[in-house]
Amino acid sequence: MDILMLGTGNAFAKKYYNNNALLCQNGFTLLIDCGITALLSLHQIGQPLDGIDAVLISHIHADHIGGLEEYAFRMKFQYRKRPVLYVPDKLAEPLWEHSLRGGLWQEQSQKLEDYFEVRRIREGIPAVLHDGLTVEIIRTEHIPGKISYSLLFNNSFFYTADMRFHPELVTDLVRNRGCVVFHDCQFVTPGEVHATLEELLTLPEDVQSKIYLMHYADDKDRYEGRTGRMKFIEQHVRYTISDGKVEPTAPSGP
């Protein structure tokens, strides 16, 4: 499984863009979240929109869904396609009613399904996205009262999206399921809606060694060398995740 972060920044980052990713497995390309900067980033790396097989969203914040209007319009009117959208069941209605409807509604297109082939996924039921690629959505705490999910791919790669510190969950996934973890990380304490670096540094070293930090602020350079056994994931670098390890992908071909 390969992953390339379109952005690794937090909601307000200007340098590192929004924390969205392309996940590739067996020729299938999944866009994980589609924030405000996603389409700019896709343009910069030369990734055509019709080369994306599906989009999956974690929760309804603009740095995770703010690019969906442009994506929907361009797929419909430029590419004449209705792309696949995987959406947690409980978010489908609010995604349309509270976020997308204002821009996308028009006489002949009055619902989410008019733009997307909507595939609803449920907690506790792993969804098969493609041959060799499953995802389980796990509801995690982020903003009090707001529905938000972390994503477990192939029972081996845990992508927190946005979540507060949950040491028991992360420790269980690393120690008992052999997962590697891409974890959002806030530098400033208190975290309140994200895990902070200070909190993540309280995890045992064997757990830290499987954690890669994302969703960080623009002053990330100040924290180089201050993240214990955890490493930063870099924007626009393709990584291969295999056998509990994360390595930059080796260049292919002669």
Ligand X SMILES: O=c1ccn([C@@H]2O[C@H](COP(=O)(O)O)[C@@H](O)[C@H]2O)c(=O)[nH]1
Our finding on whether 214 is near ligand X (CB under 6 A) is no
Which residues in the 81-140 window bind ligand X by CB under 6 A? Answer: none
**Strands annotated E in 117-169:** 117-121, 127-130, 133-139, 149-153, 157-159
The residue range among 69-77, 100-108, 131-139, 188-196 that interacts with ligand X, by the rule CB under 6 A, is 188-196
Our finding on whether 143 is near ligand X (CB under 6 A) is yes
Which residues in the 28-87 window bind Zn ion by CB under 5 A? Answer: 61, 63
Contact 21, 3 (CB under 8 A): yes
Q: Which does 38 bind (CB under 5 to 8 A by kind): ligand X, Zn ion, none?
A: none
The upper half-sphere exposure of residue 93, i.e. CA atoms within 13 Å in the direction of its Cβ, equals: 3
For β-strands 180-184 and 211-214, DSSP reports them as parallel
In DSSP terms, 58 is beta-bridged to: none
Our finding on whether 10 is near ligand X (CB under 6 A) is yes
Q: Which is closer to ligand X, CB of 24 or CB of 194?
A: 194
Interface residue with Zn ion, options 162, 220, 227, 239 (CB under 5 A):
162
**Binding pattern for the stretch 214-233 against Zn ion, x by CB under 5 A and - elsewhere:** --------------------
Our finding on whether 192 is near ligand X (CB under 6 A) is yes
Q: Which does 192 bind (CB under 5 to 8 A by kind): Zn ion, ligand X, none?
A: ligand X
DSSP one-letter code for 74: I
3-state secondary structure of 114: helix
* Number of Cβ atoms within 10 Å of the Cβ of 116: 26
What six digits make up the tokens of 230? 């955890």
What six digits make up the tokens of 151? 């994503």
Interface residue with ligand X, options 193, 203, 233, 246 (CB under 6 A):
193
Interface residue with ligand X, options 9, 23, 37, 63 (CB under 6 A):
63
Q: Which is closer to ligand X, CB of 145 or CB of 254?
A: 145
Q: Which is closer to Zn ion, CB of 60 or CB of 85?
A: 60
Distances (CA, A) of 119 to 27, 66, 90, 156, 179: 20, 19, 12, 23, 26
Least Å distance between CB 11 and ligand X? 3
Least Å distance between CB 130 and ligand X? 27
Our finding on whether 136 is near Zn ion (CB under 5 A) is no
DSSP one-letter code for 44: H
240, burial (CB in 10 Å: exposed 0-12, middle 13-18, buried 19+):
middle
Binding site for ligand X (CB under 6 A): 10-11, 61, 63, 143, 162, 192-194
Chain residues in the site for Zn ion (CB under 5 A): 11, 61, 63, 162
